[in-house]
Amino acid sequence: GVFVIMFSCLNVFLSIAGAATAVSFLTIVVLFLLWVCVSAPLVFVGAFLGLKAPVIEVPTKTNQIARIVPENPWHMNPMLTMLMGGILPFGSVCIELAFIMSALWLHQIYYVMGFLLAVLAILAATCAQVSIVLCYLQL
């Protein structure tokens, strides 16, 4: 809702200014019709098929005797894992952005887009690796 309103306001101002980046009204209508005519019916078809599907039976039986769940070690504290999961990607991007700022200060603007693409790739790889490691450690 908020993004649609923000997009609409920006698009109106871009259209008034005559910018080439403004999205045409026809394109917005086509996207809305695609959402209404494709996405919404598929949601209802999926809900209907899920409702009529047979109940899943679990292949094993659970034990009635309750077991004690051991305490997590200190390094598995949720606050600590959240802190480390945020510091690692932030640190890698901070170092790369320091290179970008030094390139800007040295008037080497033509390197900035390449650096930004590299920073995006490093951020994606770091976030993926940190999420895999933290999911593995939480098991």
Q: How far is CA 96 from the centre of its chain?
A: 21
Judge if pTM exceeds 0.95: no
pLDDT digits (tens, 9 = 90+) for 35-89: 899 999 999 999 999 999 998 888 888 888 888 888 888 888 888 888 888 898 8
Cα dihedral 39/45/50/53 (nearest 10):
-150
Q: For residue 77, how many C-alpha atoms fall within 13 Å in the half-sphere facing its CB?
A: 6
Which residues neighbour 92 within 8 Å (Cβ) at sequence distance 6 or greater?
122, 123, 126
